[in-house]
Structures are given as structure tokens and as C-alpha cells.
Structure 1
Amino acid sequence: MGSIRFDKVDKVFGPASGGVKALDDINLEIGDKEFVAIVGPSGCGKTTCLRMVAGFEPPSAGIVSVNGKAVTEPGPDRAVVFQQFALFPWKSVRENIELGLRNKNLPKAERDGLVAGALRLMNLESHADAFPHQLSGGMQQRVAIARAYVLDPEVLLMDEPFGALDAQTRVVMQEELVRLARVNPRTVLFITHAVEEAVYLADRVAVMTRRPGRIKEVLDIRSVRQAESWDRHERIEDVMDLESFVHLRTQIWKSLREEKGAHGV
């Protein structure tokens, strides 16, 4: 199981009185193997939410839990994929993927088998012995995702994972993530500024207010997708032409524009 829950979560940076309140009364549940994207204005606390699930940041109030257990530190049940690929340049693709397994002190034969499976999963077999500088940005992010998946986490936390890629590569990686979610599903919390990306990828999209961030609304994308048979579409350009996709995208943009207008930005 890989459920996530935010229960009345606040986050204040600095002293309790006079500090900066980043999050206010966050309440959100993410079910096992559900893909939830969070969008919102810059500085609203999206990444802070993810970091609390990862165990990198404690809440100032309330509880963040995974599988019903309060998160107090990082753990093997959660893996993080960042916008920057964070690969070791002196290690090959194979060695970068294997690194987390070495930290778990697994036998070499078991590590080799798991790495081989991750290479197949991300279509990286022909690049196993290449070094990061020899790879495109998209290929480097494939390695980062493979490194997360090889640890077999219940929860995958993705913080703007495609934000550093060019537009065409970003689309390819979005489609790749859809494929990956089908063949090897995980609970995913996905942070993005891109509304179209959120609608295309997620089962639900949570829209946040400006700081202090609150959950303004949560849109159920999965029910619309099922009703409109999006699953038969494998390419994002086919999905983007659907009337239901356009409606959801417009609804989210309108919600975000209201936040800007309310603050004179």
C-alpha cells in the first residue's frame, strides 16, 4: 500500500510568531497507486508539501502520513525524482542506478538482476555503460527515474521532473511516464507548473492558493478520462484535442488566474 495523507497541516519557516507561513490547513488524501498532481502559483508551497512526504521537512502543525504512519524521516518506501537529474558524472548509467541498492547492502547478483530490470523498464539497456555527459537531458531523466524505481518504493515523489527539458523531450517523457504507470504503477505525488502536463498525467489535480498555500479545489481527472476513453490515446497531441481535456485545462487556468487577480499580480 502507498497511501498519503495530509491532516490539518501547517508549515511555518522561522519562529512560530513572526515566521513565514508557507502552508495553512492542508488536507489531502492520495490513495494507493493514485497519481495526484499539485499545481499552484510560484511560492505557494507545492514543493514543501512534497518535501514533507519525503521526510525532508517536518510540518509545523498537523500530520503527514504514509500508509497510516506519521512521516518523521526519509524512508525506503518513498523515492524522489528532482527537476535536476542529480546523477554522479563519474559513474555510468548502470552504476548510477545501482547506487541505492549498494546502500541497502544487497548481494551483487541480486543488484545486477534489479538493475537489469530497471534498464529494461526505462529502455536504457543500450546506454548502460554510458556516462551522464554522453546522454541527452531526457535520457538523463530516464536514469533518474530508473534509479528511483529500482528501489521498489511504494510512493514516487516527483518535483517538476521535466521542468529542465526542452518542449519536445518533455512531451516524450510525459508519454513515457504514462507507459510506466501502466506497466509498473506506483502512488505518485507530482509537482508541476504546467497545467496541460497535470491534466494529461494525473488521476486528480489539486489546485493551491497563493501563500500561505491552501488546497483551493481538487479536480477528478480520472472519471472524465474514463468517460471519454482517454486511455486509448497514447500521444498527448491526440488527448489535447479532446473537448473534455480543453475544459479541464481551462477550469484550472481560471482558478489560477483568480489567485493572481485576487493579489493584484
Structure 2
Amino acid sequence: MGAIRFDNVGKVFGRANSGFAALEAVDLDIREREFVAIVGPSGCGKTTCLRMVAGFESVSSGRVLVNDRVVKAPGSDRAVVFQQFALFPWKTVRQNIEFGLRNKRTPRDERNELVDDVLKLMTLESHRDAYPHQLSGGMQQRVAIARAYVLDPDVLLMDEPFGALDAQTRVVMQEELVRLARINPRTVLFITHAVEEAVYLADRVAIMSRRPGTIKEVIDVKTVRTSEDWDGFEKIEDVMDLESFVHLRTRIWKSLREEKVAVDG
């Protein structure tokens, strides 16, 4: 459940002869319940990769598969969390979270139970009757994540979900996502520009090249995290001081810098 595969994927926007190639020969396997972050220079096709898994964007060549099935359209086995919270301003927290369940025609008793469970999971119980404008940015994004979790998707797709938050709130949400991954793990494809965020959150970090984007390198973070017991540290600042964290961050940054220099000529 939840495995993702990019099989020699290419994407051309516009006509084949006059359009531009966004992706070229992308190969990447994401295992069930693995958290993979994709980083890369601006315009390399990170979000396009995510949109293909979501079923929002078609491939020009190759295949994208989820659970060994070729992705052709959006599906209930995948949920997306965007950078913008995309909450309904006229609905309460509870009503926003249950929106997808209503669309699925989930029976009311089951729907209420599922929403209550995710409110507890996301520590939103005291805000259930609040409206989005009454919440901070971090709380609004927590609601957006809860809305995705309540659908019980195999795959969670997160497109720079903390990019619109201030620095302090972003750190809190990163720590919250780590907590959720331990309690209720999902297969996660996470797009970010922030190298430190990728290293802190992901089991593996996939580095994309400049356009046309391809997978340049995949860095294993989980092995290092497990061997040095990063989970024993409660705060992100404690992990960021570790020599292993600094080494991984520097390695990824140098690889990205090579692509940035090439783009700038």
C-alpha cells in the first residue's frame, strides 16, 4: 500500500517540437510508508512530479505508478496538501475537515468518529468550532493536514506545505509532522526548497538537476538518523547541531549549488 514509482518519466509542456522539456528520464522508487523529500533548483520540475502522482498532470513519456497501478487521474488513495491552506472561510474547522468525507458520502456516525479522531491526533479539539480567520497560519495548515489525514490516504503529497509560514511557525509544524509520522505513518512525497527541512523530515532526499529535471542523486537520511538516534532529540535545533546533520545538509547543498551555478551560466 502506498508505493510510488517514477519509470523513465518525461514531461514536455506545449507542442513536442516547440514546447519546453520540464522533466527527462525521471526514475525514482518510493517505498510504502517512506518519507521522501524532493529538492532542486527553481523550475526543475519538483511540483510537476508531485502533480503527476496526484493525477493532476499527465506524463509525456514513461509511467507514474501508485500501488503498481498507472496513475491516470486523481484518486482517494492520494491526498494533497498545498502551500496555500485552501480552507473554506465560511466553514468551521470541523466542517473543513469533514468536507471530503461528505463528498465520499461517508455515513454520519462514521464521519463524526473519524473527524473526532483526527481532531485529537492534530490537537485541534479546542478549535473545532473556530473559523479559518480566527486561526494562525500554522493552525490553518494543521487543519489542511487534518483534512488530508481524515481521508485515510495511502499516499500524502505535500507541495511546500510550510512555505507560507514564518520561521518560528515553520519549525513548530516540522516538529508536528515528525510526530504524526511516528504515530500515523503514511507514504509521503514532500516538495521543498529548504535543505534543512528536507534532512530533518525525510527518510531519503532526492536531488533534482536543472531543467529538464531528472533525479541527480538520492541521499539516505534514515540510516544516519537511526544509527545516531535523532528521535531521541525533542527539538529540531538539537538535531541541527549534530555533526551528521551538518554533513548531510552540506552534501545536499553542494549538489544543489552545482545545479544553480549551471543555471546561472
For the aligned pair, the TM-score class normalised by the smaller chain equals: over 0.9
The answer to whether 1:132 aligns with 2:132 is yes
1-structure distance, mates of 2:142, 2:262 = 39
Q: Look up the match of 1:191.
A: 191
The answer to whether 1:205 aligns with 2:205 is yes
Q: Look up the match of 2:154.
A: 154
Q: CA deviation at 1:262?
A: 2.1
Q: CA deviation at 1:252?
A: 0.6
Q: CA deviation at 1:228?
A: 1.2
3-state SS in 2 of match to 1:199: helix
Q: Mapping of 1:3-42 within 5 angstroms?
A: 3-42=3-42
Amino acid at match of 1:156: L
Q: Look up the match of 1:123.
A: 123
Q: CA deviation at 1:49?
A: 0.1
Q: Look up the match of 2:249.
A: 249
Q: Look up the match of 1:214.
A: 214
Structure 2: any 5+ residue segments left out of the alignment?
Answer: none
Q: Look up the match of 1:72.
A: 72
Q: Look up the match of 1:84.
A: 84
1-structure distance, mates of 2:262, 2:104 = 49
Note the alpha carbon deviations across 1:193-227, whole angstroms, 9 max, x for none: 00000000000000001110011100000011111
Note the alpha carbon deviations across 1:62-114, whole angstroms, 9 max, x for none: 00000000000000000000000000000000000000000010111111111
3-state SS in 2 of match to 1:263: helix
Amino acid at match of 1:190: F
1-structure distance, mates of 2:127, 2:247 = 40
Structure 1: any 5+ residue segments left out of the alignment?
Answer: none
Q: CA deviation at 1:234?
A: 2.0
1-structure distance, mates of 2:51, 2:158 = 10
> Given the two structures, how large is their TM-score scaled by the length of structure 2?
0.99
Q: CA deviation at 1:50?
A: 0.1
Q: CA deviation at 1:29?
A: 0.2
Identity %: 76
Q: Look up the match of 1:176.
A: 176
2-structure distance, mates of 1:148, 1:248 = 30
Q: CA deviation at 1:264?
A: 2.9
3-state SS in 2 of match to 1:86: coil
2-structure distance, mates of 1:117, 1:137 = 22
3-state SS in 2 of match to 1:79: strand
- Point out the more displaced range, 186-195 or 104-113: 104-113
Report the RMSD for the aligned CA atoms in angstroms.
Answer: 0.6
3-state SS in 2 of match to 1:83: coil
Amino acid at match of 2:254: K
Give 4+ residue runs of structure 1 displaced > 6 Å after superposition. none
